[in-house]
Amino acid sequence: MRRKTLVVDGMTCAACVSQVERSLSAVAGVVEARVNYASGRVSVACRESVDDKALQGAVVAAGYGARFPEGVGDEQRAEPRRAHRLILSAVMGALVVLLTMVDGLAFDLGFQASDWLAAVLAAGVVFGTGWGFHQRAWLQLRHRTATMDTLVSVGTSSAWLWSAVVLAARVGDGHLYFETGAVIVVFILLGHFLEDRARRRSGDALLSLAALVAPVARLQDGADVPVAALQEGDRFVVRPGERIATDGVVVDGVSAVDVSMVTGEPVPVEVGPGDAVLGASVNANGSLVVEATAVGADTVLARIMHLVEQAQMNRTRIQRLADRVAAVFVPAAVLIAAGTLAGWLIAGQPASEAFTAAVAVLIVACPCALGLATPLAVMVGTGRGSQLGIIIKGGEMLEDTRRLDTVVFDKTGTVTDARMEVVEVVAPGRDAEGLLALAAAVESRSEHPIGRAIASAADGGQAVTGFENHPGAGAVATVDGSEVRVGKRVLFARVPAAVDEAAAEVEAMGRVAVLVGRESAAEAVIAVDDRLRASAPASVAALKSLGLDTVLLTGDHPRRAQAAGGELGIDRVVAGVGPDGKAAEIARLQAEGRRVAMVGDGINDAPALSQADIGIAMGTGADVAAEAADITIMSSDLRAVADAISLSRRTMNTVRGNLFWAFLYNTAAIPLAAAGVLAPVYAAAAMVASSLFVVANSLRLRRFRPVFPANSQ
């Protein structure tokens, strides 16, 4: 099985989407075809045996242009041709309007020369620059389908043919409609041109990601090679201010790396030998030598771009409903137009007025806005998310995220840094700093996580001899000639009441109490804890402001879990649960009717992430967690969780607003056109205006700002 992407030219409404998908699905070996009307691309899942030319031919046979993209943004290549066609149409259309509407410009050469010139110019617009509408309408007729092209083709060609008959045979009331057909084509081409420009703007987020890739890499021997030629294991030099060519590991040098454009992390990351770095991040100061660990499509940036593209291809449930409506909308519009024509004639009205009303119905019924309403908003929303380091895997996730009412957090590695640290030293009547330094000297020989935390909390440079490790109890060593003990109560022969009370208070807070003393007497208590992320309390507060309940799930001891939950302001804490227990707890919440999001980062979080309605993985964690999740936060900033939910809500509100106005436009405009209130030219202008409203409303998502400005770009 493989997946291919094609750029499709000529789609003008949601009915075109259905036609392209049906044509591709009819190709033997094609499993699925999904069109993104907003981007003009189609993603095809097919067997390896399917020929690329067969896919391209199926789209062409349906009446549309098709090509395989050369890269992100390749669909922009047709812009100059569309602009030239629009300009030519506008010039000829303006001349037609002047010749038919301004009496002073009419001239007679023994025959109605100005009217015939208008007929020729109008034919150039309707059947020349607007030929694509008629071509696609004919091909669609052969497939027994109808799209917006059908409405435009029938409406504009009827206007020109009726006028030509009136001019040549002097039938009817003598009214000509050459300007109507020409202006309609100009308006629709203008609408398409503006829509295309808006689509490019909506894809700017993806283009900006693609632009981050460095064009060349400098190898250690000084040779410059294209980034595409790099292979895993190659070593390259990154000088200050340069972008890192591809994902790798630092083998030499120390520097600060700005990863904000890739992950949304606003603070530069200090790196040195052995640290992983991301391609496209910026080396801020020192020179680095990096060994490539992933190239091409395997890099983090390439995977982000792929996920964003796939998300924009996926349809939401509400979009599928709109597509079904659009599939019957065009045939219904043709029937309404025919009924309008017949009704006016039966009522004894002039044929020209009956014809005008019917053409107005055809033009005003074009479902352009309906086709753009959902995919364009999803495209802009997911693109904006990618700029903020929030990768949303599909449109349905936007819908599900909008309906959330509960957010469940894993503790270790998610709301904490998964790194122990000394948070307090209590030494009743003693030198706290001096005792901490003695403990650090002893623990400098230890490999235990708590020991390493104590060792890094102070300068343990004193001479250490006779180190003894007591598993489960602590460690004993001689420091500058004195025996120093660091560990639990059982390691000491005497624990003064003040020290014992201090240890009990530390443990009551859910922290680890480590006693330290000389000889066999405990003199101080060192409080060690898993440090909370600086962004965690603000994230919880932001989620509550969005009306969401919060839960903390952890395998930790209940006292430690309750202490962390209290410090964060979490509504409910569930402690002592393993991976299966986390998934079961989420299932229990779902059984209560809750819509649950799970935020995690580790391998043991994967079952819970899969069980939740929405799984949110912190991108700093394990790959398996990100694979099981629906949304990935590329940074370590937990505040982005609230941003992801807020962005999803804003996007779906935009989709609903777009659909409301699109349906309202057609619902109100079709009766007005059928009643003769809305002339064909104004109908075309109204149709274009409705599409541009949807475009402008969707593009407002580009201005989405995170809950916390520090997280914005």
Catalytic residues: 410
Q: Which of 613, 423, 619, 660 is nearest to 527 (CA)?
A: 423
Backbone φ and ψ of 38, nearest 5°: -65, -40
The DSSP string of 677-690 is: -S-HHHHHHHHHHH
The DSSP string of 489-527 is: GGG-SB--HHHHHHHHHHHHTTPEEEEEEETTB--EEEE
Determine the Cα angle at 593 with ends 587 and 594, to 5°: 70
The Cα–Cα gap between 480 and 322 comes to 79
C-alpha dihedral sign at 476, 477, 479, 483: positive
Decide if 382 contacts 375 (C-beta within 8 A): no
Across the strands, what pairs with 514? 526
Decide if 128 contacts 84 (C-beta within 8 A): no
Structure tokens, 400: 């599900």
Across the strands, what pairs with 526? 425, 514
Backbone φ and ψ of 405, nearest 5°: -130, -10
Q: Which amino acid is at 672?
A: L
Pairing of strands 482-487, 474-479: antiparallel
The Cα–Cα gap between 624 and 609 comes to 10
The DSSP string of 293-305 is: S--GGGSHHHHHH
SS3 call for 367? coil
Decide if 407 contacts 548 (C-beta within 8 A): yes
The Cα–Cα gap between 510 and 417 comes to 16
Pairing of strands 41-46, 482-487: unpaired
C-alpha dihedral sign at 688, 692, 695, 697: negative
The Cα–Cα gap between 492 and 705 comes to 56
The Cα–Cα gap between 620 and 643 comes to 17
Structure tokens, 431: 């030198």
What is the chain's alpha carbon radius of gyration, rounded to the nearest angstrom? 34
Across the strands, what pairs with 401? none
